[in-house]
Structure formats: structure tokens, C-alpha cells
Structure 1
């Protein structure tokens, strides 16, 4: 829980010193410490669930990434992707190991999302002058809060919003959190998150009777909560209008400006033009690295290669199975998995911290690890019980 909280505010120093927009990267020691903590948690998760096959895969990925990093003397996106997968893939085990604590985990993320919304307000009002040069260069005002960039912010608060209806919070708490999260989602300007949320909502209404019940109850039993959320959002937005300074440059409308969409399409075409036999192996030289970062699927394909993905598929088929657990607390995490897979068409959650951690947790809500040496899922459950 502590690590999830720290992860949400990992980039908070960049909020008050926004020079990272001009080529700044996080400190090497800070990055190494992040990976060490994640890998330490992964080792514990694997030992607690007897998932020694997954621990071997994790160690193998880290070893391969380290080898290529030393050999090339640089950290190309393929190497970073392998490292991230190695240190975080075992987070898939969390839903099975702590099934009875998923509600608490979700509440932590929702509350963090609300606090992130508070920082969005501060960013756009109190310290807005620090971002004027960047906003001027992009001709748009987009919040980053404590998540390093607008799309990363949009994805994180999008996850918080998906979890919120299932967290059984009191009316006032739920309404305030909802208003802050929605404000942060709007000012992030992340069309990737907006579209993914709409698609996930439609998907949930189609596949889940409980989701339909919850949705329609908003306009019936939960109307006071909805009104309170609207009032809270109006107050927050009014606060923003009162204390924000009008920009002295022309801004573009995020809903109609298709420039970034055209850039992504151009990157896809450039990637396809560079496809050759080298795609069978990881692109550790960064040949196609400049054209893949806007697409999760291209990042995975380019980072692991066709051969690497084939071995991944073999491991997944032999060690995982669909988890047919009726626990309702798993459902919002399944929605989060769909959310990431849809948003992955125009962004890579694999390389976006801390969204990558939440992504692996969501995978564990859909598929469950199946040990190969006689350890049943019941034994894993017993390990998780104090």
C-alpha cells in the first residue's frame, strides 16, 4: 500500500521544477531504486505464491536487459521495456494473493487520484507561471499533476474513476473524490483516456448486469450523490477560473485538433516501412524506437521481437489460465485491463510509471498463475491468509 502511494507521487518534484519538458530525465539513482523496489516486491510475491517459474522468467528478462544495456552502453526503449517487464510482471500475482484486500488497494488508488486532482488545481493556478513556456510551445494547457506527462495522468485518473463506483465509499467522500478525479481527467487533455473510458463504459454495460444496475441506479437511488459530485466539480472549476491567469498565447482545442493523431499515424507508417527480418529479435539498437512510443502493441513487438513474443506465449499458455472467480471485487480490475488494452492503441502503459504496475495487477484479475509442480490455487489462497 505504501509503495502504491509513493508511486502516485513519484514525479512530484518535476511538478514544481518543470524543466523536464526540455529534455530532462529522472536521476539514474532514482530510476535504479525504483526498479530495485519493484523487483524486491516481485521476489516476495513469487516466493509467497510458489511461482518459481515466474520468478525465473523475471530474472531472465532482467539479465537479458542488463546484458544489452552493458553491451550497447545505452538504454534504448526495448531494453527499458524488458527491464520493466522483468521487475513488474510478478505483480500479476497480487489479485490472487491478496484477493480479500483488493477493495483496500482500490481505495488507496482512488484517494491518490483525488489528491492528484488537488495538485492539478495547484498546477493550473498557484504555480501556472512555471508552465507558461511549455504551454506556449504546445499551444495547449494540459495538466501533468504528479504523473510526469498529460497522458500518464489521464490514464491514472481514468483507472481511479473506473474503480470509484465499486469502492463502497461514503457519499461525501465519493462525491469529492469523483469531482477531483474528473477535473484532473478533463484538464489532462488526454483523448486517449477519454475515448478508452467511453469504450470501457459501453463494454461494461453490455457484459455485466451489475454494471448496468449500478449505472442506472445513479439516476435513481444515487441521485443525491450525483448532484453532490456535480456541485463539488462546479466549486472546483469555479476555483480554477478565479485563480487561473488567462494565457497570453493562442491555444488549440483538444477535442478538435487532430495534429497528434496525424503524428501517430505517420509514426505507424514509418514503422511499417522499417519492418524487416530484424523484427524477429529485440530492437536493442533503437532502429525503430522513434516510431513506436505511441502504441503499446508496437512497443511490445519491437522490444521483444517475434521470437521473444513466441516464447512469452508458450510460457503464458503453460503457466496461466483464465480466472473464473465470481468475486465482484475483481470486476473493476477486469475493466481496467480492457481500459489499458484500448488506450494502448495510442499510448504505451508498459513504459508509463506507475500505470505499468496497475496494468500488471489488472492482468492478474483476468488470468491466474497456475504452478506446474503440484501447488494448487487453494494453497496460494492459504498462503495469503494470515
Structure 2
């Protein structure tokens, strides 16, 4: 029997992708959900070691020079950030952000190289991992009070975190899984419905408004995309019906008194505070914005947005060249396919979902959501490259005649 290294790497990747959703399970069991940078250093860093290892194996097997060029380019900026750190600065979170980018870009390149059936396996692994994390959140709600009661008091009431330390991080992951479920036919019929109920209910328990807004916009965008820029009433009615039935079932449990939703879901005051911080960050711009915020002077204003966090961490002086580099290397045909390709692709919509979520949540630095974003990006590009003859069909439920 011939052992194919590329096949073994894919199996290892799928297992890791599945395990990633459960990575922080020990923290849930112990109740240690608020951790500092110094807490359990190796547990915090080993996940990125594994991700970097996958990228290295991909290069050794495929010998893709574009991946190496990107790694060296980003590594140069990481070193530059360290050199720009003033003496006595409090930290180097800009360096951390670039290191995360260096490691995660390997996953994107790896996924781009995969075939149709392998992309299908990625979607299935994400959905199944979301099911397990959702079930754990039910145990969290009904059974873990002795362990997590003190944590809930400090954070203003119950919000499910499951195995992802943070309710917003958990909610964003579940929302992406719902996008993959809704816009594909990996699961069909009653299985699709039951899985939707399980994940949707857990999403409500997170109280994550970011996940809600991103999911609703993605459903609208997804049907716009499926229609090649024109909304199809029958298509959008299908998703409205699907989500409405899920909501009706959840409301039954709420009205029966069995479940109480987090009050934060309807607390728009905290959302307005977040928007006020973003506005403050934009209106106070001065020459210091050209350089990394080494002393965390503006971290409170940008910590909850991936875009502002990256800009603040890098500074305009370094962020613009990085964005310019990616603009030159981005396949513009892939970017504009939404206006020309009528076949719905679940990973395309997942990329849009994360693009919205990153406005209000620092997805970029939140594992495993940051990993899932780079994987979805790679899968979206892979679908475009392999062509409609391979990627359309039973993988995607959204098709046009």
C-alpha cells in the first residue's frame, strides 16, 4: 500500500480542525475562563506551533514558493515591529498579530491546494465540531453552576462559552457553522434541521449580537450571491422559513421556563459604547498613528475590532505596505465572482460572514475563529480555481437553472 504524504497531511489537518473547537475544554472544566498572557503559556502557544507545523509540512510536500515568499515578507515586518519597539515599552502585541498572520497564512495556502471532496470534508468537520461544542454548552447551562457561578457573576450573568473561553468567540464560531450548514447540503432533510436546532439554540445562549448581525447579513448576502446579484424570493423564503422554525422551537423552551436567554442580547447600550470607542479612535488620529501602539495607549478603543486592532498594532507606516502587498497578490477575479457567478458557495459566504464579524469582534486574535477564517478564505479561493464543473453539484445546495 502506497502512503501518500499529502493524504496523511490532510487527515492530520481534519483531525486538528475538529480538535481545535475543543481546545479550551480543560479551562471550562476548571472554571478558569479569564486568563492573562502569563497563564499557562505553553497551552496558549502550542496551538500556533501545530498550525505552523502544518504550513511547514505543506511546503515540504508541495514546495509552493508563493507560501514561502509570503512567510518571509510577513516575518520581515514582524522583525521590523520588534526593532521599532521603544525602550521600556509595555509589550509587543503588534509583533504577536504579525506572527499569528505568518502562521495562519500557511493554512490558506494549504486549503487552496485541496480537491473538491477534501473541501467537503472541511465543511463537515466544522459543522460536527460545532454540534459537540453546542451540546457542551447545554451542560454548561444546566449542570456547571457550581464551577462557573462565580465567573458568571463577574461577567454580568450567564452567557455560554462552551470550549472557547469567550461567548462572542463561541457565538462567531457557531454562526460560521450555521452558514456552512445552511448554504450547503453536506447534511440534508431531518439531519440538517436537527443540527440547525442544536447549533442555533447554543448560539442564542451565547448572547452574541456580533454573531447574530453577521449571520443575518450573511443570509441576505448569500441569497443575493446565489441569484447573481438579484434576490430570488423563493430562495430567501426558504432560509427565512428555516430560521423561523428554529427560532420557534427555541422560543418554546424559553416560554416554558426551561431556558432563560442572556439579557445582554437585548442590551444595546454596550453596543453603542463600542461604536463610540471606534468613533473616538478615528477622530483622534495624529502622527502617532503612523507607528505601532507599543505602550497600549489606544488598546481600549480598538481591542474589539479586528480591523482597528491590526491598524493600531502595526501603525499606518507598516499596515499600508502589508495591505498593498496583498492587494497586488489578490486574485481580483476571485474577489469579484459574486457579481458574475450564480452558483452559491458556502465558503464564499463564510468569508463574508467573518468580514462582518471582524468589525465588532477581534476575530483575528481569537482562536479557533481566526483559524476558521483563514481556512474559509483558502476554501473559497480553491472553489474558484477548480471551476464550476467541480465545485458545483451536491456540495452546494444553492444552484440556479
TM-score (norm 1): 0.80
* Deviation at residue 276 of structure 1 after TM alignment: 2.4
Deviations 1:60-92 (A, max 9, x none): 534654675697786543222111101101222
The structure 1 residue matched to 2:100, chosen from 84, 91, 94, is 84
Q: Which moved more, 1:24-33 or 1:331-340?
A: 24-33
Task: Determine which of 322, 345, 352 is the counterpart of 1:331.
Answer: 345
Q: 1:355 and 2:373 equivalent?
A: no
C-alpha distance in 1 between matches for 2:186 and 2:139: 28
Q: Distance in 1 between matches of 2:274 and 2:298?
A: 14
Confirm or deny: 8 A CA contact 1:78 1:282 kept in the other structure. Answer: yes
Question: What is the RMSD computed on CA atoms of the aligned residues?
Answer: 3.7
Q: Give the number of equivalent residue pairs.
A: 362
TM-superposed deviation, 1:49: 4.9
Task: Give the whole-Å Cα distance in 2 for the aligned partners of 1:24 and 1:122.
Answer: 28
- Show the 5 A alignment for 1:35-54: 35-54=48-67
Instruction: Give the superposition deviation at 1:260.
Output: 1.9
Secondary structure of residue in 2 paired with 1:353:
coil
Assess, with a 3 A threshold, how the Cα gap between structure 1 residues 24 and 277 changes in structure 2: closer, same or farther. Answer: closer
Distance 1:35 1:327, change over 3 A: farther
Q: CA deviation at 1:134?
A: 2.7
Structure 1 contact 102–329 (Cα < 8 Å) conserved: no
Given the superposition, is the C-alpha separation of residues 258 and 214 from structure 1 closer, same or farther in structure 2, using an over 3 Å criterion? closer
Stretches of structure 2 that go unaligned for 5 or more consecutive residues are: 1-13, 391-401
Residues 1-34 of structure 1 deviation map (CA, whole Å, 9 limit, x = unaligned): 0110111011111111223337586521122321
Structural mapping, 1:49-88, within 5 Å: 49-62=62-75, 64-65=77-78, 75-88=91-104
Residue in 1 that maps onto 2:164: 147
Residue of structure 2 in register with 1:373 after alignment: none
> Compared with structure 1, are the counterparts of its residues 315 and 60 closer, same or farther at alpha carbon in structure 2 (3 Å cutoff)?
closer
- 1:217-296 aligned at under 5 Å gives the runs 217=238, 237=253, 242=258, 253-272=263-282, 274-296=284-306
- Give the deviation of 1:350 after TM superposition: 0.4
* Superposed CA offset, 1:115-144 (max 9, x none): 111011000011123222232233332100
CA distance in 1 between partners of 2:43 and 2:89 (Å)? 19
Counterparts in 2 of 1:95 and 1:29: CA distance versus 1, 3 Å = closer
User: What does residue 208 of structure 2 align with?
Assistant: 190
Distance (whole Å) between structure 2 residues aligned to residue 177 and residue 139 of structure 1: 30
Q: Which residue of 2 aligns with 1:168?
A: 186
Structure 1 unmatched runs, 5+: 370-375, 382-386
Distance 1:5 1:73, change over 3 A: farther
Alignment CA distance shift 1:327-1:262 (3 Å): closer
State whether residues 106 and 167 of structure 1, in contact with CA within 8 Å, keep that contact through their aligned partners in structure 2.
no
Please say if residues 191 and 255 of structure 1, whose CA atoms lie closer than 8 Å, have aligned partners that are also in contact: yes
Q: Which residue of 2 aligns with 1:313?
A: 323
Tell me which moved more, 205-214 or 34-43: 205-214
